[in-house]
Amino acid sequence: MSSEKVSVHGSWASRWVFILAATGSAVGLGSIWKFPYMVGEYGGGAFVLVFLACIALIGVPVMLAETLIGRRARQSPANALAALARDVGQPAAWSWAAFAGMLTALLILSFYSVVGGWSFDYILDMAKGDFQGVTPDQVGAYFGNVIGDPLRLIFWHSVFMFTSAVVIAKGVVGGLERSLRIMMPLLFVLLLVLLGYSMTTGHFMQGLHFMFDFDASKVLDGLLPAMGHAFFSLSVGVGSIMIYGAYMPKSASIGGTIVSVALLDTFVSLLAGVALFPIVFAAGLNPSEGPGLMFVTLPYAFGSVPFGQVMGVVFFILVGVAAWSSAISLLEPMVAYLVERHKISRAWVSTWLALACWLFGLGTVFSFNLWKEAKFFVNDAAGFHLYQWGAQAGLDFFGVVDFFTSRIMLPLGGLCFAVFAGWVMGRAAVRDELAMRHPLAFEATFFLMRYVAPCGILIVFAAQLWK
């Protein structure tokens, strides 16, 4: 028998499959739906540049840390952290970072599934020709109708959650590979087609300026959101990438692999933004429109070009699949943990977890209709209220879940993972696992993981508190 440890859940066939799976996890609604509307909300170029800096200096080092922890221990995140900590005589309580991560992942999935459902809904709407020749105002009203109808949202939310649970029940290794190999490149091609269209709108340069003009006065406001989104976009901070790392073959080089995944993900985000904003301006829409931005802008674009109807259908199918491969990675850490720990079947665990997320997701569904007026953390002229019905300011239920997960839990999770790899595991173990050819490359990576990423996270938190 070989002495190499292998995960009980299986293992990727090769480095390519890991890249596909990790890219499938990273590229999703975060790049195509969330990134553009956050850029719009936080004022364009300043947000984009801070986001890129956070990806490079914090996101990638944390992603490396997660992957190497997972691959070294070959178990689900909670057991991985406990086992590696025990190896060096540290408390097994490190596994709490992974438990917090699993919970965060489930919370994210609860709203992720609702938005994934919007994409599924749009596949049919596109196919029916609902968007042919419509004006931007009409698409806006259409979207308003969709999210205003709780039963419609619940239906698609259920479809999304159910299909994700089926895939995860069958096991991640294997099934995912086939679909991703075709769908991911196709999504990329369609984004390029959209980019081609936005070049013809006459507002392309305006879009580029909006995306890349740096306005220093906006940096501070966008700092924490940009860092949080860097984590969200790369799928780091909860153990998703750690569990995928546990399935990674020993021969694959972690450094090159992770950098490729991060580059692909970032590229898709930028591409989505550069393609979207010219259309936003051409249609006279408001960039800070919020979560509906993509669902109003793109149907309008598809509705006004030849073959737009077919392309629109294909596009929303691909977004659905991209969302779906991300959703799977959100469930996987908890599923793998429960299977390891209690020896229960994947199918059973997946069903119950999906059901719990589905239930919690109803809160997000209602945020757009029945509970629209319910606002939390209201801080306005009348002072601070934890909760107020009908307030102008404040966060709705979806806003609270999003804030808590992306801006607090993901960076905290990332901080724990980076500190664990940089300070607890020890230099020799990290060097062995990274197996970088060049000693200088290792020194630089280890420095980023040990000092830059943790300090960066703390500085952003501090800046937010003192601003």
Question: Of 95 and 240, which has the nearer Cβ to ligand TRP?
Answer: 240
Closest to 31 in 3D by CA, of 308, 201, 264 = 264
Give the range of 76-84, 234-242, 352-360, 374-382 binding ligand TRP by CB under 6 A: 234-242
- If one asks whether residue 25 binds ligand TRP (CB under 6 A), the answer comes out as yes
- Name which of residues 134 to 173 contact ligand TRP (CB under 6 A): none
Query: Is there binding between residue 361 and ligand TRP (CB under 6 A)?
Result: no
Contact flag: residue 258 with ligand TRP (CB under 6 A): no
Residue 17 vs 109, nearer CB to ligand TRP: 109
Residue 108 as a binder of ligand TRP (CB under 6 A): the answer is: yes
Q: Does 30 bind ligand TRP (CB under 6 A)?
A: yes
Residue nearest to ligand TRP (CB): 30
Hey, is 376 helix, strand or coil? strand
Q: How far is the CB of 325 from ligand TRP (least distance, A)?
A: 9
Binding of ligand TRP by 418 (CB under 6 A): no
> Given candidates 17, 20, 21, 26, which one binds ligand TRP under the rule CB under 6 A?
26
Among the listed ranges 23-31, 43-51, 250-258, 396-404, the one in contact with ligand TRP (CB under 6 A) is 23-31
Q: Do 420 and 387 contact (CB within 8 A), yes or no?
A: no
Q: Please, which residues have CB within 8 angstroms of residue 385's CB and are 6 or more apart in sequence?
A: 378, 379, 391, 394
Instruction: Please tell me the distance from the alpha carbon of residue 278 to that of residue 296, in angstroms, as a whole number.
Output: 13
AA identity, residue 3: S
Q: Is 110 in the site for ligand TRP (CB under 6 A)?
A: no
Tokens encoding 250: 């020993």
Closest CA to 69 of 97, 47, 49: 97
Does 28 bind ligand TRP (CB under 6 A)? Our answer is yes
| Of 24 and 136, CB closest to ligand TRP | 24
CA angle 334, 11, 73 (to 5 degrees): 60
Rounded Cα distance, 284 and 277, in Å: 10
* Measured distance CA(220)–CA(150) in Å, rounded: 36
DSSP assignment string, 183-249: HHHHHHHHHHHHHHHHHTTS-HHHHHHHHH---GGGHHHHHHHHHHHHHHHHT-SSSHHHHHHHTS-
Does 76 sit near ligand TRP (CB under 6 A)? no
How many CB atoms sit inside 10 A of residue 56's CB? 16
Q: How far apart are CA 297 and CA 234, in angstroms?
A: 25
Residue 226 sits in the site that holds ligand TRP (CB under 6 A): no
| 93: DSSP letter | G
Q: 81 vs 330, which CB is nearer to ligand TRP? A: 330
Note whether 330 binds ligand TRP by CB under 6 A. yes
Nearer of residues 65 and 139 to ligand TRP, judged by Cβ: 65
Closer by beta carbon to ligand TRP, 11 or else 326:
326
Q: Is 237 in the site for ligand TRP (CB under 6 A)?
A: yes
Q: Are 285 and 115 in contact (CB under 8 A)?
A: no
Is residue 122 near ligand TRP by the rule CB under 6 A?
no
Yes or no: say if 303 and 139 are a contact pair by the CB < 8 Å rule. yes
To ligand TRP, the closest distance from the beta carbon of 237 in angstroms equals 6
325 binds ligand TRP (CB under 6 A): no
29 binds ligand TRP (CB under 6 A): yes
Give the footprint of ligand TRP on this chain (CB under 6 A). 25-26, 28-31, 105, 108, 232-233, 235, 237-238, 240, 326, 329-330, 410
